[in-house]
Amino acid sequence: MTRTRRLVAALLLAATIAAGLLVHGVLPDTAATDIAGDALYAVAAYLAVVLIAPRLPTLATGAIAAAWCVAVELFQLTGLSLAWSATFPPVMLVLGTVFDARDLLVYVVTIVLATAVDALLRTASRPR
């Protein structure tokens, strides 16, 4: 079960990253694409935690993913992520650039949804 969970998480993470790069690189920069990018980032964080620790309870997985996203967003208040992105642009894809309170809301709502879906899927896949 752990191998399957890890494999599914890896495949979904790759698809999520591809979608995020598409949103970031191809679509026009609008509020909708910003929100979509934030949601995809949160899903990627959740899937990364599943990939690293597939046996964690879903609530712990969600809490870790949410803590990561919130920490990254708050780190943007230091200005370091913006400076580092100017020097090495791929940093922007992981650490963002500038703080936006709306991002925090999108992250938390998305991770709550991801956690709920994961919990439902895990419950449904348990042997009875």
For the segment 7-65, what is each residue's pLDDT rounded down to a tens digit?
A: 999 999 999 999 999 999 999 999 999 999 999 999 999 999 999 999 999 999 999 99
pLDDT (0 to 100) of residue 125: 85
Per the CB < 8 A criterion, the answer to whether 51 and 6 are in contact is: yes
- CA–CA gap between residue 110 and residue 112 (Å, rounded): 5
Per the CB < 8 A criterion, the answer to whether 49 and 56 are in contact is: yes
pLDDT (0 to 100) of residue 53: 97
Q: Percentage of the chain with pLDDT > 90?
A: 94
Identify the residue whose tokens are 């999520």: 16
Number of Cβ within a 10 Å radius of residue 92: 15
Sign, Cα dihedral of 14, 46, 44, 109: positive
Identify the residue whose tokens are 């591809």: 18
Mean predicted lDDT score pLDDT of the chain: 96
pTM over 0.85: yes
pLDDT (0 to 100) of residue 81: 96
- CA–CA gap between residue 13 and residue 107 (Å, rounded): 16
Residue 1 has pLDDT above 90, yes or no: no
